[in-house]
């Protein structure tokens, strides 16, 4: 027994649920379409803005390009000059002012010693962490009298420890047999010749 003749059509029978697919779907579609349109508009505006920015930057660059190239060149020159300056400074640090050394040497040489020869040789030390330049000073001279040996010894001590030479000479020695009698013609029995080898302090090449 069926007495219920429903006269409502399917589209008139709506759901009581507050969330309805029929209303939610178009709304979601509209929102999605709106978001897509918004995204497209934003993208177009962004591209337009970036193009404008690019034009502006290109114009600015055209104005400053020459200055920039000049600045780069100047900086390159500066680096080059700074390098040369550093090299010169290093040379200056390595340089031994021999005129000063000779003057001091003259001041410290006892009066009964006559220096007959001064030889300087140099070598580059590369086996150390920092390459350096080493000097060797070879002095030859003559003396006479009973106090010849103490005089030479005092001179040797002076060379090895006096503040005037500590910056230059690391050690000073008289090689074995280098203090002997003078056998040259016209020499007396009391005349002596000697030789002192001085090892200089190495100077770093930076």
Partner 1 sequence: MTLDLKKYLKPRGPRQHDVVGVDLGSSGTKAVRLRLMDGKPRLTAAAQLPATPYPADAAEAARSSGLALPGVLHARYVALALSAPEAVAKLLVVPRPADKLGDFAFSGMLGLANPDAFRIGVEIESSTHGETTVLAAAIPDHMVRWALHLFPVATPAPCSAEIAGLAALNAIAYSLREKPAEGAAMAIDIGARTSTLGIFIRQDLALMRQFPIGSNAIMNRVAGELGMDEETARSVLTDDVIDASDAIRIALEPLVRQLMLGRDFVARHRNCRVANVYLAGGLSGSPFWRQHIAALLGFEPNDWNPLTIVPCDPAVASPDRTSASGCFAAAMGAALAALEAS
Determine, following the binding rule CB under 8 A, whether residue 19 of this chain makes contact with partner 1. no
Q: Element (H or E) spanning 138, and its range?
A: strand 132-144
CB-nearer residue toward partner 1: 7 or 66: 7
Q: Considering only 8-16, 64-72, 85-93, 182-190, which stretch makes contact with partner 1 by CB under 8 A?
A: 8-16
Q: Considering only 7-15, 86-94, 102-110, 163-171, which stretch makes contact with partner 1 by CB under 8 A?
A: 7-15
Using CB under 8 A, pick the residue from 11, 17, 67, 128 that binds partner 1: 17
Tokens of 49: 């803005």
Determine, following the binding rule CB under 8 A, whether residue 177 of this chain makes contact with partner 1. no
Q: Are 133 and 124 in contact (CB under 8 A)?
A: yes
Determine, following the binding rule CB under 8 A, whether residue 16 of this chain makes contact with partner 1. yes
Determine, following the binding rule CB under 8 A, whether residue 13 of this chain makes contact with partner 1. yes
What is the chain's percent helix, strand, coil content, to nearest 5? Answer: 50, 20, 25
Determine, following the binding rule CB under 8 A, whether residue 8 of this chain makes contact with partner 1. yes
Compute the radius of gyration of the chain from its Cα atoms.
Answer: 48
How many other β-carbons are positioned within 10 Å of the β-carbon of residue 154?
14
Distance between CA atoms of 101 and 99, rounded to whole angstroms? Answer: 5
Least distance to partner 1, CB of residue 19, Å? 12
């Amino acid at each position: 027994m069926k007495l219920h003749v429903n006269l409502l059509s399917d589209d008139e029978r709506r759901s009581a649920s507050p969330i309805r697919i029929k209303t939610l779907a178009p709304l979601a579609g509209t929102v999605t379409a709106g978001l897509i349109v918004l995204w497209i508009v934003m993208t177009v505006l962004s591209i337009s803005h970036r193009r404008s920015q690019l034009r502006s930057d290109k114009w600015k660059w055209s104005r400053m390009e020459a200055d920039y190239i000049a600045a780069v060149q100047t900086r390159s020159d500066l680096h080059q000059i700074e390098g040369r300056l550093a090299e010169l400074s290093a040379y200056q640090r390595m340089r031994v002012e021999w005129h000063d050394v000779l003057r001091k040497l003259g001041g410290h040489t006892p009066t009964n010693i006559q220096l007959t020869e001064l030889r300087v040789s140099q070598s580059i030390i590369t086996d150390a962490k920092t390459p350096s330049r080493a000097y060797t000073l070879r002095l030859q001279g003559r003396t006479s009298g009973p106090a010849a040996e103490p005089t030479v010894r005092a001179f040797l001590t002076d060379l090895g420890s006096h503040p005037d030479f500590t910056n230059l000479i690391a050690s000073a020695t008289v090689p074995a047999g280098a203090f002997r009698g003078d056998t040259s013609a016209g020499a007396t029995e009391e005349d002596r010749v000697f030789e002192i080898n001085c090892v200089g302090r190495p100077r770093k090449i930076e």
